[in-house]
Amino acid sequence: MNYKRRISASISALALFLTLVIPTSNQAFVESRSPRQRLSHLYDARVNQSNLVNRSELINSVDKSETLNSKRTIVTWCGGQSDHRWSNSANWVGGHVPGASDVARFPAQSKSDVDVDSIGMIAGLELEPGYRGTITLKHDLSVAGEVVIASGSFEQGSYSLSARHYSQSGGTFDGGSTKMTISGEATVSGGTLTTPRLMNAESLLIDSPGVVRMSANGKLELSGKGEPLKGSGLLDVTTHKPNSIEYTGQANVDLTAARPATQFHSNRHIARDDALRFHPRRCSGS
């Protein structure tokens, strides 16, 4: 009887031991893993958050890139097969005539002439090095950005041209009987620009071997501060006469002593009065 009691007591003690020890052991086991799991989750959260930030930045940059691209799409000329009309969508890669958000590009391998027969605004105009065609205005053209001429020819005719910036490194620009308005700086570092009847610019940079040739009865108006006429190139005011340069800003130099003006004088040994006719004029209200 005592033996049975001892066995029963032993079983009860064993049961109590198993009840107390096993859950405690399991709890210890779980708790021993739980901190690692929590740290792992925290670590993963940090990594994921970092990744999300990077991805967000990437997405934002892509969105910005797409936005910029959507704002400034380059449309390439491929025409000249059936006609030379700017307005013919078949003359442009993708069948899209350049609009206000587009840059019209004329590639190096092209020798096709272009008749700009549509009115409106474009974002930019680029004549690439090696382009051998002639672009002729048949309507007024407004360029919100930059006109870049590296090769080929541009004929203004009797229509106006306006742009924010003008950059010429080659080719020829033949001004017409109306005006050309550059709201910023005009740069001629190569080729020849023959001015239209009236050319307005904030400043004019002529670098060798670039040449700016004044047209007969032509007028160049500069309005920038500092040094509005500069560079190592030539300002030709003698081939076509008469012509004049008017300045309406606040220059800190004498335009008659600007190097583009004196270069032609020294090279051709001509009289100073023939080298440059300078008529300073103040802005209205100043």
The mean pLDDT value for 187-202 works out to 98
pLDDT band at 18 (very low <50, low <70, confident <90, very high): very low
Flag whether pLDDT at 185 surpasses 90. Answer: yes
The mean pLDDT value for 133-160 works out to 97
Residues 133, 210, 227, 215, Cα dihedral to 10°: -70
For the entire predicted model, the pTM comes to: 0.69
Which residue ranges make up each domain of the chain? 1-71, 74-280
Q: Which of 10-24, 84-98, 189-203 is predicted with the least confidence, judged by mean pLDDT?
A: 10-24
Q: What are residue 90's phi and psi, to 5 degrees? A: -70, -15
Flag whether pLDDT at 84 surpasses 50. Answer: yes
Q: What are residue 44's phi and psi, to 5 degrees? A: -60, -35
Flag whether pLDDT at 50 surpasses 50. Answer: no
pLDDT band at 218 (very low <50, low <70, confident <90, very high): very high
* Residue position matching structure tokens 């990437």: 58
Flag whether pLDDT at 275 surpasses 60. Answer: no
Average pLDDT of the chain is 76
- Give dist(CA 146, CA 124) in Å, integer: 5
